[in-house]
Structure 1
């Protein structure tokens, strides 16, 4: 029996919420960039206001910046080892360029303003994927396919995402240009898992989805009027059984139950596909799952659409124990060509590792910092740096090792605890 309107079926991948980071407990500590405001009196412009940062933006202090670089380097080392060449893109581009290479790019999420030089609209990037797509279609258009590219950088959005007020995030990802096959999808999922683990995540889980599921079914086996497709998508995404019936999607109700652990959920999806419309997609999901089995916990939510605005037949969301919310998404998509050019298939993923950076900051190991007194032997100091010490040289007789964060002092050519 269909559930009455408003009844929701709630499900989320079974990743842990309270966590362990590399075997150690951590606290989710965020640095507040803004100094406290006066408790009393009207808020007027005064000397301290000039140092306030906009809502959702913040600095990274030395330990946080070290953690950020550590996470980024670890992920890029993995990507490079699999043949993904790194590219860098500008923070600003013409709005039209950012919006024209991929379907579903949401320009309204971007900061936009007029370029005083060209008098054209500029936009700050909210997703580097579209920029990599532009590179693949222009500067690397003649490069052999499949083309493997990686990237990282800060992205900015007009508003935060859900309960997270941050408007600036680090994005790290990889794109496999020229292929959206099962083999390409499996490579990308494996790569995302490996990169996330290298960056410090534990207990990785992956949730598979079919972003074009409603489009595929409504075009054949389960027809829907064009005006009703979006409503059915929304009700499936919301897991609202009653709303789905009211939207004319009663035949789609079994999809709400084809969720959960992958092996069980894929069987329910296969039982639903009596006409075989989804046979190739189901076979593809099984093949991808078989290749990544044992590397992460696998779940399935075939009708999940949130965050998959431009993906095509395959998508996935990746999670880690102890990290609330997702760590990133990926899947297959198409890069739109210019006039008279066919779209080019691609597969990729984007990770947003800021929670890992916060966790690593909280449990960061002590650095080997060596205090160098005035008049120290520079050759000895160089040898100490060569074996892993971080040296901090005194600038005056009053400099104190511990005040400068040093655990050791150079004495007689040796590192001596302070």
Structure 2
């Protein structure tokens, strides 16, 4: 194997692309900032139990572990930044009992890629809101998510909605064991209505619950699904509350193309309620995903209502406006000492000044402007 080869699903980002990504990262963090979200920088590595690998099987399988040579304890390289931000809210920002709006942008590392075309090193960008349980907070985050994906060209955007609360309310009412609920949830995620029906028949569930679980994979489509679900699903308070939240989101975005799927339950174990995702007509997968995860902070000593979204900024590659290279001013290396003060002043003003050693630099064969001495003064001339 060549010594320069990288592991599978790991790739370098070269100058022109890196310039575009950094530009959009700054733009997105600026967008978050004007909506009141403060930037945090969690560490790349923590003790593995702090990354919640013990409570989320999917997250645990993604997490790469190493032994800490200082303490001898097991470390984990983060596969998801959301649990880290929940820890920050619950522990480091515990003095604030009100709302914390936090955002982040950093690399995560996966032991395996999520899909054949996915990287193992996503650049995860996201925003989280802690301390407010009402659906209005979810509406705020969905609005911010849609504004975020709009900075790149993904075609027509579809807002996809689901609600894990419907399934969990039915599972509780049907008195399913934790193992049965996990098994049925897995079948739901595979969209296999026949398997769902066969499984609930095998368990000999009460007819009402068997019918409800069999219905879930069929309850998908446009906004009218909410009304349809009200007439077909059992009249449980938690189910009605979940449908009310879905309706509230639909009402908040009257012009947005919306798809609702009550069996769209592709979630991390820590999600507890409303689920949302943004899809583009030119993409094979979701651009951004989010949802409510109330109580996650209990693992760090403070249970808080929470909602948020994230996405891999690398998905934006090739879909961003071209970010041109900063125009350069060249100065002959023999003149650097004499022109030192002028060069530093130009750089302080934001100009790019490069030293010309008589060969190409960064792929540039020609620079159209040069710093030269004329009549005892340093001038920038076009060449």
TM-score of the two chains, using structure 2 as the length reference = 0.84
Contact in 2 for aligned 1:85/1:149 (Cα 8 Å)? yes
In the alignment, is residue 394 of structure 1 matched against residue 356 of structure 2? yes
After TM superposition, give the deviation of residue 173 of structure 1 in Å.
0.7
- Residue 328 (structure 1) shift: 2.0
- Contact 2:166–2:242 (8 Å) recurs in 1: no
* Other-structure match for 1:364: 322
Q: 1:159 to 1:224 in 2, by over 3 A?
A: same
Q: 1:77 aligns with which of 2, 15, 30?
A: 30
CA contact (8 A) 1:171 1:352 kept: yes
CA contact (8 A) 1:103 1:336 kept: no
Report the equivalent of 2:172. 219
Shift of 1:192: 1.1
The yes-or-no answer on 1:318 pairing with 2:271 is no
Give the gaps of 5 or more residues in structure 1. 1-44
**Alpha-carbon distance in structure 2 between the residues aligned to 1:120 and 1:226:** 31
Hey, what does 1:229 align to over in structure 2?
A: 181
Q: Give the drift of 1:285.
A: 1.2
Match of residue 247 from structure 1: 199
**Within 5 A, what are the aligned runs for 1:141-156?**
141-156=94-109
Instruction: Sort the Cα spacing of 1:105 and 1:132 in 2 relative to 1 into closer, same or farther, 3 A.
Output: farther
The 10-residue stretch of structure 1 (119-128 or 196-205) with the greater mean CA deviation from structure 2: 196-205
Query: Does structure 1 conserve the Cα–Cα contact (< 8 Å) formed by 2:97 and 2:131?
Result: no
Contact kept in structure 2, 1:370 and 1:409, CA below 8 Å: yes
CA change 1:219–1:256 in 2 (3 A) is same
Which residue does 1:185 correspond to in 2?
Answer: 138
Q: Provide the rounded CA distance (Å) in 2 between the counterparts of 1:314 and 1:303.
A: 12
- Greater shift after overlay, 188-197 or 228-237? 228-237
Does the C-alpha gap of structure 1 residues 51 and 210 become closer, same or farther in structure 2, counting only changes over 3 Å? same
SS at match of 1:108: helix
Alpha-carbon separation, structure 1, partners of 2:268 and 2:254: 23
Q: State the alpha-carbon separation in 2 of the partners of residues 130 and 381 from structure 1.
A: 46
Q: Could you tell me which of 52, 60, 80 is aligned with 1:99?
A: 52
Name the SS of the counterpart of 1:212 in structure 2: helix
Unaligned segments of structure 2, at least 5 residues: 201-209, 373-378
1:206 to 2:166 alignment:
no
Q: Per the alignment, do residues 119 and 81 of structure 1 end up closer, same or farther by CA in structure 2, a change over 3 Å counting?
A: same
Specify which of 277, 284, 290 is matched with residue 251 of structure 2: 290
Please say which of residues 377-386 and 321-330 is displaced more in the overlay.
377-386
Q: 2:127·2:309 contact (CA, 8 Å) conserved in 1?
A: yes
- Contact persistence 1:173–1:348 (CA under 8 A): yes
Q: Is the 8 A contact 2:66 2:75 kept in 1?
A: yes
1:352 corresponds to: 312
**Following the alignment from structure 1 to structure 2, what is the Cα–Cα distance between the partners of residues 401 and 87?**
36
For 2:187 and 2:54, locate their aligned partners in 1 and report how far apart those are by CA, in whole Å: 29
2:326 and 2:66 map into 1 onto residues whose CA distance is 46
Query: Structure 1 206/104 Cα, relative in aligned 2: closer, same or farther at 3 Å?
Result: farther
Please tell me whether the aligned partners of residues 148 and 176 of structure 1 are also in contact (alpha carbons under 8 angstroms): yes
Partners of 2:89 and 2:297 within 8 A in 1: no
* Larger relative contact order, structure 1 or 2 (CA cutoff 8 Å, min sep 6): 1
Counterpart of 1:22 in structure 2 is: none
The alpha-carbon distance between structure 1 residues 370 and 324, as it changes in their structure 2 partners (threshold 3 A), is: same
SS in 2 for 1:167: coil
1:196 aligns with 2:177: no
Q: 225-234 vs 121-130, which deviates more?
A: 225-234
- How far 1:53 sits from its partner (Å)? 1.5
Deviation at residue 100 of structure 1 after TM alignment: 7.0
Report the counterpart of residue 132 of structure 1 in structure 2: 85
Q: How does 1:328-339 map to 2 (within 5 A)?
A: 328-333=288-293, 334-337=295-298
Q: Distance in 2 between matches of 1:101 and 1:227?
A: 17
- Report if aligned partners of 1:372, 1:381 keep a CA contact under 8 Å in 2: no
The structural deviation recorded for 1:353 is 2.0
Cα distance change on mapping 1:325 and 1:403 into 2, 3 Å: closer
Aligned partners of 1:387, 1:76: CA distance in 2, in Å?
24
Which of 367, 370, 373 matches 1:410? 370
Deviations 1:289-322 (A, max 9, x none): 222333x421111221113421111111122232
Give 1 or 2: higher helix fraction.
2
For 2:142 and 2:27, the matched residues in 1 are separated by: 17
